Structure 1
Amino acid sequence: MTAIRILATALCLMASSAAFAEDPLPRAKPEDVGMSSERLARIETTLKADIEAGRIPGAVIAIARHGKLVMLNAYGWRDKAAGVAMTTDTIFNIASMTKPMTTVGALMLYEQGKILIDDPLSKYFPKFANMRVAARDANGEPTAETVPANRQITIQDLMRHTSGIVYGGRGTTLVHKMYPAGSGDASHDYDGAAFLDKLASLPLLYQPATVWDYGFGLDITGLIIEKISKQTLGQYLQANLFAPLGMTDTGFSISPDKAARYAKPLPADPDTGKPQARSPELTEPLKFECGGGCAASTATDYLRFATMLMNHGRAGEAQLLGRKTVDYMLSDQLGPNIKNLIGNADPTRADYGFGLGLAVRMTPGVVRMMGSVGQFSWPGASGTDWWVDPKEELAVVYLSAAPGPLRWHYRQKINALVYQAIIE
């Protein structure tokens, strides 16, 4: 190994500073905000060991408490095969972390009186007016027979995953097999109009407002935003969310001048050996900008978004959403009469409630991770995660290009490593 290669490896496996990205918040020593530097160092030790073991290519983590940035570090490789080290300005596919941003975009229209939470989907796309639902056999399994929907799908159903329009890749029933696998697949195979035609032609898996099951609700919400705003979803969010927050590296495409900063997963899943690649590939154009899972971002950009929600819609002097609107978004929208299958979509969020576009913690115990009642989050299948704990004034963004099932392991591991570092 050459001296240059040795140096590159050493630099790669060291946590980098934030030299590559403008800090989203003022910096502070961990002890100044009630966290332990010694305990936070366990994050570096753990991630370095896992990177060296070939478990993940690399990661970026940003931690803020009491409005101060206490950690912004990069570990490992942005592109391991090419020997490119991770930096804090690396751009990641954030997958379903797109959903909360699309939700905020729709709630901005709600605040302007342009949509209502209980508006029927058919108000915007009439083809959804007379949806049918898969009938059930004696064992409760869906069949090819259908019955009329008891009521129309609403905007609320789309935002809280109770529409009955499900991801095809999240189950094996006859109905699942009819649907596109997920948001990224849909944006690759269909333009917006064809996507809506496809969904409107299929039976719902459940009656609306009866079951939480993961699906295309926020992709449809994004297309509603496009219809009302007369802009693409990316243009609308750029003008109303990304630019006001200073999210300069967030969007639905990776331009040529930023492509070198785009993270790649390991070529093969370390557990299954199956090939891995970025999906969607955002250096290539999407057929539509899917609000359910097609954005890319950086740790500092997404921390800005998370902090805005923790600050009740405020960013600096700008009030992007009203305080009560944010409170409503972050309140449980399921209640006792909706069957909650969140754990099927993400075992780490089992037993959470669900607000609009994200999960909300309802109990101090029971769930599989530490945190406080009121904590809110929604991770990405690409290996990314984030959460805000308002009680602790804590915001965390963890980004890694690790899309396999081991992403659930890292959601729990990073959660434990962050919370154990709080000392007061």
Structure 2
Amino acid sequence: MEAFERALASGTAKDGRAARVSHGIIVAAVDKSGEYIYKNASGLVSLHPDSPPVQFDNELVMASCTKLITTIAALQCVERGLIGLDESIDKHLPELANSQVITYDSKSEKESFTLAPAKTQVTLRQLLNHSSGLAYDLGEPALEAWRKSRGETPLSLWAPVVPAFSTPLLFEPGTQWAYGSGIDWVGLLICRLAQRMSLENYLIDNIFAPLNMVSTTFHLWYKPEICQKFLQPAYRLPDGSLIPGILPYPHPPADEYGGNGLLSSMPDYMKVLGDIIKDSPVLLKKETVELMFSPQFEEGSGALQHLKNNQTLFENSAGGHIGNHAINFGLGALFFTQQMPLTGAPPGTLAWGGLPNMMWFANREKGVAGFYATQLIPQSDFRNTKLAALFQRSLWKMVNKQDQ
């Protein structure tokens, strides 16, 4: 790991450019016994010159890293026979029962669109692998035009699940891929299947308590002891300098979204990653975890092609743009079917991340999982992407050397 540690300490990327990385970076990797094989915390908690150094257990806004935990919770419901992966979710989420597909004319000066009833029903599997047709309304021209026609602005992050994510579909379910609100809906689905008042209550009983996760919550008032432990966000300007930033996640949250919103720490999140690479997982049956690590899209399918066309959404996970390399999607995360050229991640690796340049990965065959975490925006910051890739390359080199 020397190359990564030198880059981290010097603030210089491998190519010699001035990296000027985020003020705080925390990284870790565990093996399938749950033991740390590497961990490091670097930088300061904030940009203030008198800021204390980062600690390994500093609190983090998890952003879309929340999706892994919600996916596991949903698969627990499948194991209990509460729903099937390929069963229509209409009776549990009637708000999606009569979905419409939007067709948008991007060339029209009036931002015109048409709506037509969807021909097929949405399933849980499609919600988990982002092939349902649901997308976030913020930054999606068709859905922004639809909101505008209703006298609304985008509601993602700023409203409860139902009004925030009750949007038309971008395509017929199962035919394409679009990153969006599917797993946010899954959070609500879990609440209804388990007859709980909140997603938080379900997660406490079924994930947080079994793994002894002591610093994870949607609500700061549930864990007042973590309030002073946050790694403060920063924003990188075009010239490479940093200023204090604000992450676009309101607290208190508008709702307990399955797709984002959890607050957690490296020690807590590594317990989840460590569990899904164990020979005998605690949270799920082994065969269910193996299903998570299975490609969901057939070669030549529209879903797989659209996934490959949207690489800017997961450059952090892949180490940068990787062309038409062998990627697919598992349940809840990106899946690599070949060794990744920029990170060295072996085939069979599941990976995803979150907006403030966070990236996790897990490989069951190697029995290794890791997490690169910071709180810097904007997404896919060049310098952090390079450092995260170097972290992975260094780690996999170390692991492969030990396997020899």
In structure 1, what is the Cα distance between the partners aligned to 2:121 and 2:139?
A: 23
Aligned to 2:15: none
Match of 1:204 among 146, 166, 169: 169
C-alpha contact 2:88 2:122 (8 A) present in aligned 1? yes
Alignment CA distance shift 1:268-1:403 (3 Å): closer
Aligned to 1:88: 56
Aligned to 2:41: 74
Aligned to 2:395: 418
Aligned to 2:92: 124
Aligned to 1:328: 291
Question: How is 1:125-164 mapped onto 2 (pairs within 5 angstroms)?
Answer: 125-135=93-103, 144-164=113-133
Q: CA RMSD in A?
A: 2.7
Amino acid at match of 1:152: Q
5+ long unaligned stretches in structure 1: 1-39
C-alpha contact 2:32 2:274 (8 A) present in aligned 1? no
Amino acid at match of 2:207: L
Amino acid at match of 2:232: K
Alignment CA distance shift 1:340-1:363 (3 Å): farther
In structure 2, what is the Cα distance between the partners aligned to 1:321 and 1:101?
A: 12
Match of 1:409 among 380, 386, 400: 386
C-alpha contact 2:57 2:265 (8 A) present in aligned 1? yes
Alignment CA distance shift 1:298-1:271 (3 Å): farther
Match of 2:328 among 353, 357, 366: 353
Amino acid at match of 1:228: L
In structure 1, what is the Cα distance between the partners aligned to 2:263 and 2:156?
A: 14
Question: How is 1:172-321 mapped onto 2 (pairs within 5 angstroms)?
Answer: 173-178=141-146, 186=155, 188-195=157-164, 199-200=165-166, 202-229=167-194, 230-254=196-220, 255-266=223-234, 268-269=236-237, 271=239, 276-281=245-250, 284-312=251-279, 314=281, 319-321=282-284
Aligned to 2:365: 391
Secondary structure of the residue aligned to 1:353 is: strand
Task: Give CA deviations for 1:108-141 in whole Å, capped at 9, x if unaligned.
Answer: 11111111112223211223222111236699xx
Aligned to 2:83: 115
Match of 1:375 among 318, 339, 349: 349
Amino acid at match of 1:358: A
In structure 2, what is the Cα distance between the partners aligned to 1:128 and 1:147?
A: 14
In structure 2, what is the Cα distance between the partners aligned to 1:309 and 1:66?
A: 8
Aligned to 2:6: 45
Alignment CA distance shift 1:92-1:270 (3 Å): farther
Amino acid at match of 1:357: G
In structure 1, what is the Cα distance between the partners aligned to 2:64 and 2:106?
A: 35
Q: Note the C-alpha offset of 1:329.
A: 1.6
Q: Note the C-alpha offset of 1:50.
A: 2.1
C-alpha contact 2:46 2:231 (8 A) present in aligned 1? yes
Aligned to 2:25: 59
C-alpha contact 2:270 2:371 (8 A) present in aligned 1? yes
Q: Note the C-alpha offset of 1:161.
A: 0.2
C-alpha contact 2:20 2:240 (8 A) present in aligned 1? no
Identity rate, percent: 25
Secondary structure of the residue aligned to 1:363 is: coil
Deviates further, 47-56 or 232-241? 47-56
Task: Give CA deviations for 1:314-337 in whole Å, capped at 9, x if unaligned.
Answer: 2xxxx3211111111211112232
Q: Note the C-alpha offset of 1:179.
A: 6.5
Amino acid at match of 2:328: G
Q: Note the C-alpha offset of 1:389.
A: 2.3
Q: Note the C-alpha offset of 1:85.
A: 1.4
Secondary structure of the residue aligned to 1:379 is: strand
Alignment CA distance shift 1:215-1:63 (3 Å): same
Q: How many residues align?
A: 368
C-alpha contact 1:187 1:288 (8 A) present in aligned 2? no
Secondary structure of the residue aligned to 2:390 is: helix
TM-score of the superposed pair, with normalisation by structure 2: 0.83
